[in-house]
Structure 1
Amino acid sequence: MNGSENGFEVLQPGPMSLLQDAGRLGWQHLGVSPAGPLDLHAAAWANHLLGNAWGAPLLEVALGGLQLRSRVDSWVAVCGADVVIEVDGVPQANWSRFAVRAGQQLQLGYARSGQRAYLAVAGGFHGPTQLGSIATQQRDGLGGLHGDGRALQAGDWLRCAAAHLPGVASVPWPYVPDYHCRPLLRVITGGDALSFSEDQLQGFFAQAWQLSPQSDRMGARLCGAALTVPVLTSARQWSQGVSNGAIQVPADGQPIILLADRQTMGGYPLLGWLHPLDLGRLAQCPAHHELRFTAVSLSDAQAELHEFYRFFRE
């Protein structure tokens, strides 16, 4: 740590705190997944509250338990999981921005609902980039504070610039999710969906699934009444590129929803894709949480995603 630099010292990193940005885009043809925040909604609001550029580097804090000491007068915003937020013991509102002065300690308690909190700082955190991104990808050992995919550790130094904003601000309440409720997640059917029998396709939407404890940043694994996996034609015997939200159905009939750290190719039948704006809601669900799905048209999903990007990126 260089005492002449501005930033935050990591006193306690929590179970897993990762430096993320908009993702490592444009490298999937070489087998490099994009990484980036699992909950795009919460991450986008955290940066937006501070006036940061789209995808400015921030922290994805799994389950909470993070403690930082500031060496700079700045502003931070926290959105996502319901965690107790304190600056020198003084409570701060979630889904809001607030000032942190040099010498003060910022603490995030453990999540009471939701799984991931996003902590942004005015101007974004600074760090080395690899393949054009600072995003942490643990599986491939890419990105992060040290460029090797490691999660934050005690003693790490998060560099940022001093900043001054006019005052506190919060996300309007209609845009703050309730992580206690059972989500109804929207699916764009496609891929190999027509290869599934009609009763199997209806069965996917009719039943309540549970989120498996084996889920991680690569994929959310579902547990429920197994689907019968179709036998694909010879034209689909080869693996194909897969994207964020793709719903694979492996031989055991238990679907997997691919997430930010996914592989870039896959050969399992694809039932469809989770609505991109529902991936964040999925990322906030704890193990064994009940999940239900409903169909959404591609055009409706595209229109909603367009409005999301228009608001946050323009």
Structure 2
Amino acid sequence: MAALVVQHPGMLSLLQDLGRLGVAEQGLSQGGAVDLHAACWANYLVGNIASAAVIEITLGMAQFIAVEDCTLALTGAPMQPLLDDIPMESWQCVFMRAGQTLKLGGARHGLRAYLAVQGGFLAPDVLGSCATVVRNQLGGLSHGQPLITGDRVPFAYACPDPTMLSRHRQTPSRFIPDYSQPITLRVIESYQAAAFQAAEKARFYASRYTVSQETDRMGCRLSGPAIQAEIDGIISEGIALGAIQIPPDGQPIVLLNDRQTLGGYPKLGCVARVDIARLAQAAPGTSVQFIQGDLAVLSEEWRQFSRFFGLPF
């Protein structure tokens, strides 16, 4: 069977797709690629549908060997990829021969890279998705476990398309993010924004925060000027992707794909869906600032993104 063999998984390599939607009522996390921008481009470059499974590689230092010829693409954080010790370009489709080895260095900027193969990786479907959620023990090759050395990650074999390679299919430079830059995130305020006095909100928008070391797929923890709500907490309720929680210490937490389904901290609003991909690449120490977003503008941006990649939501 066509497959990539994991020679080294690096810090963390996970099979992901668009996520496990509609399962929050069962207490399960969404999962899925946290940087949807990079994941969708990886699939697009090799001719896959957006929901095809990819490998999400955190911090790099991973290594894979091809069992069959394949066409692949690597997007996201720059990790100095080598194909049999020859530098390989990211953000474009590349032909990999059977027996060749793909080696990734450490992430220079950003956190995560996405590896797609023409035909898509294959993994068991669990509640409509193969997304790996370690905390739920769901998805991936087996019970939500990260990839380990020796794993064979099968893919639907597709004879490499020479016309795709001859067209030198690559991502236009304007769509390749610079992960070394500070981040500005647009916010859609929620009904709970009324629980924050005008002075507290003004401090929130005027301040710069720093991504802390305590950041993972559940949420991005920030450190900076504390923000206080007029209420200590709320009755636990469902948490949306990108929700900005303000816990008692006043340090914002932006909830991501593997977030818990319920929470009782007040929420100032949500980070715009189209901006979450950039936050997903924010390494500890990255500077983050928030601005108020225009709902109509942000909704149109998301519609354009969804239409281009054919997303089902």
Question: Counterpart in 1 of 2:19?
Answer: 23
Deviations 1:134-160 (A, max 9, x none): 0000111111111x1111100000101
Partner of 2:56: 60
- Residue of structure 1 in register with 2:176 after alignment: 176
Residue 186 (1) aligns with residue 183 (2)? no
Q: Which residue in the other structure is 1:226 paired with?
A: 226
Matched, 1:36 2:32: yes
8 Å CA contact 1:115–1:285 kept in 2: the answer is yes
Map Cα deviations across residues 43-100 of structure 1 (whole Å, 9 max, x no partner): 0100011110122000000011111110111100000001111111111111111001
Q: 2:303 aligns with which of 292, 295, 306?
A: 306
Superposed, 1:67-106 pairs within 5 Å as 67-106=63-102
Q: How far 1:195 moved relative to its partner? A: 1.4
Gaps of 5+ in 2: none
1:104-146 Cα shifts (integer Å, max 9, x gaps): 1111111111110000000110111111110000111111111
Q: Which residue in the other structure is 1:246 paired with? A: 243
Look up the equivalent residue of 1:298 and give its one-letter code: L
Query: Could you tell me how far apart the structure 2 residues matched to 1:48 and 1:283 are?
Result: 20
Among 145, 149, 162, which residue is 1:150 paired with?
Answer: 145
TM-score (norm. length: structure 1): 0.95
Q: Secondary structure of 2:135's match?
A: coil
Distance 1:288 1:182 in 2: 10
Counterpart code for 1:239 = S
- The answer as to whether partners of 1:230 and 1:269 remain within 8 angstroms in 2 is no
Q: 2:286 corresponds to which letter in structure 1?
A: H
Give secondary structure in 1 for the equivalent of 2:111.
Answer: strand
Range with bigger deviation, 10-19 or 104-113: 104-113
Task: Give aligned pairs, total.
Answer: 306
Q: Deviations over 1:225-252 (max 9, x none)?
A: 11112217xxx84211111101111111
Which residues of structure 1 form unaligned runs of 5+? Answer: none
Match of 2:291 among 276, 281, 294: 294
Structure 1 runs of 4+ with >4 Å offset? none
Give the secondary structure class of the aligned counterpart of 1:82: coil
Q: In the alignment, what sits opposite 1:128?
A: 124
Cα distance in 1 for partners of 2:66, 2:2 equals 8
Q: Percent identity between the aligned chains?
A: 42
What's the TM-score, normalizing by structure 2? 0.95
> Aligned with 2:87: secondary structure?
strand
Provide the rounded CA distance (Å) in 1 between the counterparts of 2:185 and 2:159: 38
Q: CA deviation at 1:189?
A: 1.2
1:200 is displaced (CA, Å) by 0.3
Matches of 2:94 and 2:106, distance apart in 1: 19
2:89 & 2:140 partners in 1: Cα distance?
Answer: 27
- Cα distance in 2 for partners of 1:18, 1:46 equals 15
- Counterpart for residue 108 of structure 1: 104
How far apart are residue 295 of structure 1 and its match?
Answer: 0.8
- Contact persistence 1:8–1:157 (CA under 8 A): yes
